[in-house]
Structure 1
Amino acid sequence: MEEVEVVVAHHECATLRVGDVFLKIDADQARTDVEVGAMTMAPIPTPEILWRKPPVLALAALPGTALGRLGEPSTASSAAWAAAGAAVRKLHDAPLPPRPGRAGRGLDELAADLDGECEWLVTNGVLPADLVTRNRQVAEAALRPWTPVFTHGDLQIAHVFVDGDEITGVLDWSEAGQGDALYDLATLTLGHEEHLGDVIAGYGTDVDLDVIRAWWSLRSLLGVRWLIEHGFDPSSPGCEVDVLRSRM
């Protein structure tokens, strides 16, 4: 009999693995609608949808292994990281999905969220004020006009699967939509700055590296409270707090 593995679980959603099937349970069916729609539109490999019966979406497991994990050294080759960059470029060149995604928030909304999170981090003594202030300054470079592209919106390395040097698929499309291309590239390389050159080489066009670094700070500042409140530890080695410290 197959064992049930809890891949991730918090009060918003949970993902279970049973053999070669992933069961995604989400109380917000709008997120699942976005995920299914994005996987249908995406020009890169995605998991096969086996069935959907709200609140459960069943997906086939992808072959290969994840490109890596935040906070852990990646064992994937430079060619695999470059292949990930090429896959992201193919996604960004595809026709736009119908609505903004996580990477498509307006600049005023994003700046307001950033100010609120920075105040919370300092007021509650979660992070030193100088660390927050410095990263807030770095993050400013991301708050600029951008041309919308088809973004994944949560392109963590754990969501990108490889077999050798080839991309076998990308998971978790619930945040997909129109957004800032450099947000995806920053999310993919968060905590793995040593592979940024490989990703950009695969992406195949010049990008503003200062904006990618700004997104590392911005994404980390916005993520710390959410991670704490959902039972994760952003201060684990190599994770968000270390990313913020690396900007000092």
Structure 2
Amino acid sequence: MKEEVEVVVAHNERATLRVGDVFLKIDADQTRIDVEVQAMAMAPIPTPEILWRKPPVLALAALPGTALGRLGEPSTASSAAWAAAGAAVRKLHDAPLPPWPGRSLDEIVARLDGECAWLIENGVLPTDLVTRNRQVAEAALRPWTPVFTHGDLQITHVFADGDEITGVLDWSEASRGDAMHDLAILTLGHEERLDDVLAGYGADADLDVIRGWWSLRSLSAIRWLTEHGFDPSSPGCEVDVLRARM
């Protein structure tokens, strides 16, 4: 049977295609690919095998198993698999720091406030919804001890086979960052799974900060998602995450 080309994700910044058991990542910004390759080499947890690289394309072998789930859909992964994801994140956070920095607190605050203003000025969301979540987000806006973070730890990037984590994808946002950010992105829209994740992660999790990152991430992402063909108002997605804080 002839293999087909599956478009996994595509927008004007980058695209990922799948052909059989090979993923082809195409990115106009080679800095992101450089970070991804370095981060996967440093990460102490399973990552995809790099098959070859010829800019602007990076070819990766498919991971066994399936993703923990998708935003806006119930996850069918077991509690043990979610706990294993938490344990993997802890192992990453305990690893030596990557040599490159992440976003500064000032950069994050400036981006958040700019996005909040845009949401209100353009009538995208009610003012009280934005204002309340901006207040919740304040908990995340504090100094943190940097750790090795994935940076974009969406559940679609974490693969499991049964109760075992088989690998983590998409390391282009990896950097020195806030540990609670990774935990928040992993559980965004799946708050009922946070206890499972923390059972594997262990101590030192701050629930208020995690909730702050849920609000911060959602507020900051809505414009980008809308402009790139995604719908943050779909059930269970970013707008519902914001409404849950009310």
Structure 2 counterpart SS, 1:186: helix
Name the SS for the 2:88 alignment partner: helix
Q: Quote the offset at 1:113 in angstroms.
A: 1.1
> Which residue pairs with 2:128 in the alignment?
130
How far apart, in 2, do the equivalents of 1:122 and 1:184 lie?
Answer: 27
Matched residues in 2 for 1:72 and 1:31: separation?
29
Q: What amino acid maps onto 2:59 in structure 1?
A: A
> 2:27 is matched with which residue?
26
Matched with 2:94 is 93
Distance of 1:65 and 1:100 partners within structure 2: 31
Q: How does 1:91-170 map to 2 (within 5 A)?
A: 91-101=92-102, 105-170=103-168
Matching of residue 181 in structure 1 with residue 179 in structure 2: yes
Larger displacement relative to structure 2 (111-120 or 51-60): 111-120
Deviation above 3 Å: which 4+ runs of structure 1? none
1:195 aligns with 2:193: yes
Query: 2:9: which partner in 1?
Result: 8
CA distance in 1: counterparts of 2:79 and 2:59, whole angstroms: 32
Q: Which residue of 1 aligns with 2:226?
A: 228
Partner AA of 1:122 in structure 2: I
CA displacement 1:101-151 (0-9 Å, x = unmatched) = 3xxx22222111111100100100100000000000000000001000000
Query: Contact (CA 8 Å) 1:200, 1:206: kept in 2 or not?
Result: no
What are the superposed Cα offsets for residues 81-119 of structure 1, whole Å, 9 maximum, x if unpaired?
A: 000000000000000001123xxx222221111111001
Q: Which runs of 5+ in 2 are unaligned?
A: none
TM-score computed with the length of structure 1 as normaliser: 0.98
Q: Which whole-Å deviations, capped at 9, do the CAs of 1:18-62 have from their partners, x for residues lacking one?
A: 000000000000100000000000000000000000000000000
* 1:161 aligned counterpart, secondary structure: strand
Measured in 1, the distance between the counterparts of 2:222 and 2:86 equals 26
CA deviations over 1:192-217 (Å, ceiling 9, x no partner): 00000000110011311000000000
Secondary structure (helix, strand or coil) at the match of 2:81 reads helix
User: What is the alpha-carbon distance in structure 2 between the residues aligned to residue 179 and residue 112 of structure 1?
Assistant: 17
Q: Distance in 2 between matches of 1:26 and 1:224?
A: 22
Structure 1 residue identity aligned to 2:104: G
- Name the amino acid aligned to 2:139: A
Whole-Å separation in 1 of the counterparts to 2:57 and 2:93: 29
Distance between the aligned counterparts of 2:174 and 2:111, measured in 1? 20
CA RMSD of aligned residues (A): 0.6
1:20 maps to a residue whose letter is: D
Q: What is aligned with 1:79?
A: 80
Counterpart secondary structure, 1:133:
helix
**Secondary structure of 2:45's aligned partner:** coil
- Tell me the distance in 2 between the aligned counterparts of 1:97 and 1:244: 32
The one-character-per-residue Cα deviations of 1:144-176 (angstroms, maximum 9, x if unpaired) are: 010000000000000000000000000000000
What fraction of aligned residue pairs are identical, expressed as a percent? 86
Q: Which amino acid is the alignment partner of residue 36 of structure 1?
A: V
How many pairs are equivalent? Answer: 245
